[in-house]
Amino acid sequence: MSYTQTDVARLRSAIAKGASQVKVGEEQITFRSLAEMRSLLAEMEASVAGESAPSRQHYPQFMERP
């Protein structure tokens, strides 16, 4: 989904007010927690800024012994 700066502002406002529902685009979203709202806010801000969502992949690094 493509987010707009208006969507980001609405979610920020909902977080500030302590609301658990917000309208994003044409959808009415009910959140289970503040953590869930903050997670979506980070995703939306990255999308609006033109960045990809933060990666959570971790790759092991192997070091050779001398």
pLDDT at position 42 is 92
Burial of 34 from C-beta contacts in 10 A (0-12 / 13-18 / 19+)? exposed
Q: What is the pTM assigned to this prediction?
A: 0.65
Buried b (16+ CB within 10 A) or exposed e, 37-52: beebbeebeebeeeee
Q: What is the pLDDT of residues 10-51, one digit of tens each?
A: 889 999 999 988 876 788 889 899 999 999 899 989 888 886
Residue 2 has pLDDT above 90, yes or no: no
pLDDT at position 17 is 92
What ranges do the domains of the chain cover?
5-48
